[in-house]
Amino acid sequence: MTLAVAVDWMARLAGVAAAIAALELLCVRDALADHGVFAWRVLGRELAGAPRAIRVLADTVLGHRGMCSVLVLQLGAALALPCTSHPAPPWIAFAAVLLTAFRFRGTYNGGSDSMLLIVTLAVALARTAPDSEVARGGLAYAAAQLVLSYFVSGVAKLRDRAWRSGRAVPRVLALPQYQVSDRVRAALTRPVLARLATWSMLAFECGFPLALADATTCWALMAIGACFHLANAIVFGLNRFLWAWIAAYPALLYWSR
């Protein structure tokens, strides 16, 4: 896979991820209003000690109307990402996701927003300086973060006795925010299946750095990873993780050469 092809595929997949992220927040935009649970009049109190110019700018951009405008810009940039090689859309998408993260004091949707930031930054750098060391460096950063995201997660689970024994899987499935179906929960609460699912996941996550060995191994691990994220989207509703993570896969495939 050439650098240009990798960047094009990252742009297409990041466009889907950024569009979904923007649409999801626009659908719950009332929660961002002054009467909502994410009201800026409450979150903005943390800037009480900041210079007046910064507070005015933050109130304008991160208030209800400003934030909705940012999300509309993100959606427009997301739709433009696959259609043009101009550097403006990825930079706009990156800035919009960053502003959203700033408003929520981190990320609204956890790791998926973090990975989307990384991918849009890599695409923006590659589109700003095509076929350059800057472009290759952006893809190297995305590939490294992708590998580390799996490896660090796997090592952290491996150190936890609850994960090694298989007891952690039923606990996660029982969390009320995921609303896992009774059939899936009943199947994976069986000790044998829970242990099998746990150790399959640990082997995949801890072994993911092998993707850098060669393209064949990379393709195999990416296929497993795509199935893993698809299963999480179906079972837990983590749909944004699917698109954000596979958007970084072309960078890994490029560097696996």
Contacts of 170 (CB under 8 A, 6+ apart): 185, 188, 189, 194
First to last CA, the chain: 8
Helix ranges (H only) for 129-176 are 133-158, 161-165, 168-173
The pLDDT value recorded for residue 109 is 67
The pLDDT value recorded for residue 107 is 66
The pLDDT value recorded for residue 50 is 87
* Ramachandran category for residue 237: left, alpha or beta (phi over 0 → left; psi -120 to 50 → alpha): left
Contacts of 28 (CB under 8 A, 6+ apart): none
Mean pLDDT by 10 residues, the chain (257 residues): 94 96 93 88 85 91 93 97 95 95 77 93 96 95 96 95 89 84 82 90 95 93 95 88 95 92
Domain ranges of the chain: 3-255
The predicted-structure confidence for 209-218, as pLDDT tens digits, reads as follows 999 999 999 9
Angstrom distances, CA of residue 140 to CA of 119, 120, 126, 135: 11, 13, 11, 9
The pLDDT value recorded for residue 105 is 78
Model pTM score:
0.91
Amino acid at 37: V
Residue 39, helix vs strand vs coil:
coil
